[in-house]
Amino acid sequence: MLKRLKKPAITAITGILILGTPLVAAQANEENSNYSNANKYTFTRTHVDAPKAFWNYENNQFELLATYPVYDSEGDYTESTLPIDYTVNWVGKGWRGTNPVHLYSIPDQNWATFLGEPGKLLYAAPQLAGDGNAPIWSGFGADSDIPTEKLRDGEFSLNLIAVDGPGKVEYFISSATGNSVRRFFSSHDLKHRETLLELSQHTHNYTTFTKPGTYKITFQVYARDKAGNPIISKPQTQEWRVGGNDPRHDYTKNFRASFAAAPSEKESSRTGTPKLQVQPKPPKTYQNPGDQHYTDFHFETGNSADKGVLVLTIDGYQLLQLPVENGVATGSEMLGDETSNYQAIFIPTPDSPSPRWASAPFSYQRNQGAVEQRQETTEISYPAPIQPAPVQPLQAVELKDLRVDLSFTPIAGQDGKYNVKVTAKDPRFKGRIRGGFQAKPRQSYYDCFFEISLETGATEQEVDLGYCEKNFYLKFDLKPYPSINANGLHYDKTLDLTKGYTETLQLTHAPLTSELPDYEHQPLNPGTPAEPGTQVIPGDPLNNQPGTKPGNQPGNQGDNTQRPAPETEKTADKLRLTRGHLDIAAISGKTGLEVVIKDDTLEHSHHNRVERQLATTTLFVPPAAKQTRSVEQSQPYFDFLGKVGDAFYLLPEVQDHQLLWPGFSTEALDYRNYPQGVDFKVTPKQLPTGGRAVGFSIDPLATGTDQLKVFFDTEKAGDFTLHTEGPTHRHLNWVFTQPGTYKLQVDLVSGGKTISAPQELVFQITEKTSGTVGKLSNLDELLAPEVTISDENANPGEGKLSNETGTQTGGAQGVVANPAPVAPVTYATLPGNLPLATPGLVPGAPETKPNQNLEASPATDELQGAAPIPVTNQVGNSPAVAGGFLATVKSLLGANSTALLLSSLGILMFVAGLFLIFKKSHKS
């Protein structure tokens, strides 16, 4: 059962590592284990949102935490938190089938130039994790319980302040075929250091590194209150270990201190000279795909009686630690394609005959061939990146010009297509335009939705707005980033776009009312010398933590009494959810497992997730989800979309702001009780005439038929299951080929046995009578940040835009300088980038290898040759036919549909009565 999230009661621990124990603290089993900068919690082969912005109600301040699950002795689930300073993300190895997902080859595409030369190799935490969730499935985001109503324009951002590490770092989302990208953060490009966050947001993005090694990345949250005062979090630093060994298997936490404490001379002399040999991995030693890119290390002390640890550094940062046995240590690593400076450091055990030893630093690039280093030094290199990342503290940007131009022009010969250009007069402006077109001013969805992120001064896009060209209501908000000294504005107008329009939006000045605190960058701490006699003893640290064995997850928890408890569903009426994140979730109920909807949309609650019953909820799919199958989707495995040119409705795998983002979750389950895993089984119960529902995933790194994996298809015979073997959070692409009502039965199955009561999941797909909805139609072109719209000021079903836009200090409103109609940009989303989360490895288990695919669900992989599934109660192709007139009216009215419907009928009866009285009196 899901318990309320608790904030950490942070307890720093200190201590001295004593002789005869491994120089690593095992991560204990009890829930209240203490973590600190010296005793960090490792995330690997698991899902983690970090940094994740929270609001601390005790000091009214932002803080950056990482979340992870804790299971008690009864199997109950609690989501616990730690400051990101007390955690480390490890990017080890991972494969999807035979594809090494921890390696990223820079594509030969124009958009990829920011990553480097085509074909160069990067280390990657992928946006679509591999089998067993390897190497790590990481993202960033924000909690739902943040008082955005107190913030200027309701906005807050995550800012990257500094990167301390050997190479370059990039955070981005790539399209399914690698021909478009959305950048979030960059270590070396200062234009990409600030990203707006949303309530309940979580992303799953690439984080790439040009070199392996240890990185420390510092973030802050930035916002302004209504008066213009800055609201910022303290600088917090997240550690990444890229490549190398599992941090839980470090033999020394401070190799510099251990080296300083080791004897520099021994009574017995060396029998040989220590040496380090470095060479590309020989083909005869290849074992796994990707091995051809690795470099081998071979170290010898010259004395077969030596034991201890070999530490290899890259540009002065720890790369990996290897045990020395019988005077020998061996290992391998993918070093990237840049030249780096390396050093080998031998730290002996007390009973080893040889003293400590450090090689002189040497330069190496992985393609240069074999080298041998025998030269010795008494000094250990400190961190010295060849290309240091610049530090950028929080700023308050004073613009020289507060105007932003929007223009669009119909494209000749292409009906409904427009070229849209957005240009800030001051290229330093950063902001976001979000809104859309509505056929009616107060409907709960956009017929055409758009979002434009302006981060480099100007952007230009080609969009299809054919459906919304004439007599539609255009509503959008233009909101500057918190770093900009300007207030946002709201735009609302009825437009005719057919002749093209230009518009100049005038922002209002909003100076910073108090100074930002100074930021002093602290480089990676090289450590302090240890007490004399402190030595390294190789050990085998324990592994109990996320991604290992459910049920033994330590936590650092504290009271959270000031945060409101989650709301509960009390009404029997069907509640309509229209946009935002939700999960179809397995939870432990009073009588067994249950399937519920974990509603993070915030449409009908304030700052809280709500667990709703499927029987009381309808998932609404608006016209903006409508697309057409393009020529680029002509491969046979896309035939479930119909013929090229046929329309379908898509809820994409990566979030699109105006649509629902439904996923599956088993994060609340204790898998010790389900050794055969837990499956979501989907069975069609009611479809519109000619309707078909398909759930599938796209792998952007795979080729051919491997790019697409189908989890359920209502036209295929057999069981359609999403298989899980550990706590899972999984999103799919949901395709519906016809408008109408879709009812899908959802069951939980383990070992072939149904372990939950059947639940009915209802989708309502709506369609307009003509036209093509204004949205990009190519699946491969869809791309947008993974964020959730907060609509706090809206009543259920009304679709008001959120926050108090257009306000500034002194109460002045943002104004439009030249109030001519303006055309929007349609900005849609990328499908296919979230992995099926599977369990990490149990303590002592071997690393996941290629083809150990834990996603196996054979019945869902076949796309051809199965008989149709018989369904009953088929209905027509319009909402009115599908559910009847009253049901359609009720669905459009939203959460308070019953009361509103009865009131409307009462008014109609009253008016009809007045009409009859008037008619009778007129006759008389």
**DSSP string computed for 255-303:** HHHHHHHS-S--SSPPSS--EEEEEEPPGGG--STTGGG-EEEEEE-S-
- CA-CA distances (angstroms) from residue 235 to 63, 183, 221, 556? 9, 22, 8, 21
Same domain, 69 and 183: yes
Confidence (pLDDT) at 280: 97
pLDDT score for 632: 74
117 and 176, same domain (yes or no): yes
Listed as own residue / partner, the contacts of 806-809 with beta carbons closer than 8 Å and 24 or more positions apart are 806/487, 806/488, 806/489, 806/490, 807/152, 807/153, 807/226, 807/487, 808/487, 808/508, 808/509, 808/510, 809/226, 809/227, 809/228, 809/487, 809/510, 809/511, 809/513
Task: Please tell me the total count of domains within the chain.
Answer: 4
Q: Is the peptide bond before 235 cis (omega within 30 degrees of 0)?
A: no
Q: Decide which of 242, 276, 306 is a domain's last residue.
A: 242
Q: Both 119 and 193 in a single domain?
A: yes
Domain final residue pick, 214, 242, 270 = 242
Cα–Cα distance measured from residue 437 to residue 213, given in angstroms and rounded to the nearest whole number: 48
Instruction: State the pLDDT at residue 465.
Output: 77
Q: Check residue 520 and give its pLDDT.
A: 65
What is the reported pLDDT for 905? 53
User: SS3 string of 770-830?
Assistant: CCCCCCCCCHHHCCCCCCCCCCCCCCCCCCCCCCCCCECCCCCECEEEECCCCCCCCCCCC
Domain check: are 99 and 237 in the same one?
yes
Q: Give the other-Cβ count within 10 Å of 112's Cβ.
A: 17
Closest C-alpha to 71, from 161, 1, 166: 1
Instruction: Supply 736's token pair.
Output: 């519906």
Q: Looking at the structure, tell me whether residues 88 and 226 fall in a common domain.
A: yes
The interaxial angle of helices 879-893 and 897-923, nearest 10 deg, is 100
Mean pLDDT by 10 residues, the chain (924 residues): 34 27 30 72 91 94 88 73 96 91 90 93 91 89 93 96 98 72 94 93 91 98 94 96 96 94 75 92 96 98 95 98 97 97 97 95 96 96 97 95 90 82 94 87 79 85 76 88 95 84 93 82 40 33 32 31 34 76 90 91 80 94 85 85 91 84 90 91 94 86 71 82 83 93 95 94 77 34 31 32 31 31 27 27 40 33 29 33 36 41 54 54 46
Tell me if 535 is assigned to some domain: no
Q: What is the pTM of this model?
A: 0.75
Of 92, 238, 79, which Cα lies nearest the Cα of 609? 79
CB under 8 Å to 73, separation ≥6 — which residues? none
65 found inside a domain: yes
| Six token digits for residue 29 | 């089993």
Q: Is residue 67 part of a domain?
A: yes
Q: Which residues of 196-222 are buried (b: 16+ CB within 10 A; e: fewer)?
A: bbbbbbbbbbbbbbbbbbbbbbbbbbb
Secondary-structure breakdown of the chain: helix, strand, coil percentages, each rounded to the nearest 5: 10, 35, 50
- Closest C-alpha to 697, from 525, 832, 844, 556: 832
Kindly state whether residue 364 falls inside one of the protein's structural domains. Answer: yes
Indicate whether 722 belongs to any domain: yes
CATH number at residue 483: 2.60.40
Q: What pLDDT does residue 478 have?
A: 93
User: Which has the closest alpha carbon to 595: 437, 827, 759, 831?
Assistant: 759
236 and 313 fall within a common domain: no
DSSP 73: T
Q: Tell me: do 234 and 135 sit in the same domain.
A: yes
In a domain, 522, yes or no: no
Based on the fold, state whether residues 367 and 408 are members of the same structural domain: no
Q: Both 589 and 726 in a single domain? A: yes
What's the domain range around 278? 255-377
Domain membership of residue 457 (yes or no) is: yes
Do 491 and 622 fall into the same domain?
Answer: no
Confidence at residue 909, expressed as pLDDT on a 0 to 100 scale:
57
Q: According to the model, what pLDDT value does residue 761 have? A: 96
Residues 6+ apart with CB under 8 A from 195: 157, 158, 159, 184, 185, 785
Closest among 543, 530, 526 to 18, alpha carbons compared: 530
Whether residue 663 is found in the same domain as residue 711: yes
Phi and psi (nearest 5°) for 676? Answer: -95, 10
358 DSSP β-pair partners: 345, 377
Query: Is residue 495 within 8 Å of 408, Cβ to Cβ?
Result: no
| Residues 582 and 605 occupy one common structural domain | yes
- The beta strand positions in 589-630, using DSSP E, are 593-599, 610-613, 617-621, 626-628
In a domain, 774, yes or no: no
Looking at 242, 272, 295, the residue that finishes a domain is 242
